[in-house]
């Protein structure tokens, strides 16, 4: 944070009102961007994905439940990992229990990871989460969902050629993202949108709250922005 500029209440109010005009303009731009996102073309999902869930094997279509829309959070939890990614865990703390509200607007929400269902269930219990979480592993083999949707890069290799976030580059074996799907009247499933990297910031209310403060996220002096993040049950237990 730069040195605070202390002013009178009148001067503060004048500056605040001037900034409010910028906020309103940004809100209108965001609404327009959201409208443009809804107008993007869609592509039919041709592959038959099957997931391991607490209720048994389910297809991608099954994950919709009774809803026409499905949002999937690509949670970083590799096949050989013993714990989920701390950053994705940070995000999960922010979106846990939102599924009921999303369902009220005809949308299902599911997290998907490559680790076995047993690992996911144990980690979910540890952190007291309630959202639906399914595994790509079926009979010991992954279904390729993460790789196909640009978040899994086995051995840091890119099977699609698109790279992470359409950059053509690979940054890690597992990466975060969100994908949206629509079930068409004829039963086919369309992939409508995916976002990665900073595109998932909107799901993190902790960051949104910090962005309202004078110090903001104050991550600039860290070796990497999220170096401070810990799993929720680790804060205060280190050292």
Q: Is residue 206 over pLDDT 70?
A: yes
The model carries a pTM of: 0.93
Answer for the pair 231, 86: CB distance below 8 angstroms, yes or no. Answer: yes
Note the pLDDT of residue 31: 98
Q: Is residue 25 over pLDDT 70?
A: yes
Q: Is residue 92 over pLDDT 80?
A: yes
Q: Is residue 239 over pLDDT 60?
A: no
Mean local confidence (pLDDT), 216-227: 92
């Amino acid at each position: 944070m730069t040195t605070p500029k202390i002013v009178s209440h009148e001067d503060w109010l004048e500056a605040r009102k001037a900034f409010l005009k910028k906020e309103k303009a940004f809100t209108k731009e965001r609404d327009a961007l959201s409208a443009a996102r809804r107008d993007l073309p869609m592509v039919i999902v041709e592959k038959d994905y099957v997931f391991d869930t607490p209720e048994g094997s389910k297809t991608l279509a099954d994950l919709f439940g009774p809803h026409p829309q499905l949002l999937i959070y690509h949670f970083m939890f590799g096949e050989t990992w013993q714990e989920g990614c701390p950053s994705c865990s940070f995000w999960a703390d922010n979106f846990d229990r939102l599924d009921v509200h999303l369902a009220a607007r005809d949308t299902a929400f599911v997290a998907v990871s490559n680790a076995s269902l047993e690992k996911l269930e144990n980690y979910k219990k540890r952190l007291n989460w309630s959202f639906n979480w399914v595994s790509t592993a079926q009979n010991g083999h992954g279904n390729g969902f993460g790789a196909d949707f640009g978040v899994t890069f086995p051995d840091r290799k890119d099977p699609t050629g698109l790279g992470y976030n359409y950059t053509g580059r690979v940054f890690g074996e597992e990466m975060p993202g969100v994908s949206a799907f629509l079930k068409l009247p004829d039963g086919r499933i369309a992939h409508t949108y995916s976002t990665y990297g900073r595109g998932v910031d909107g799901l993190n209310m902790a960051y949104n709250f910090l962005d309202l403060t004078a110090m903001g996220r104050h991550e600039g002096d860290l070796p990497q922005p999220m170096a401070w993040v810990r799993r929720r049950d680790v804060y205060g237990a280190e050292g």
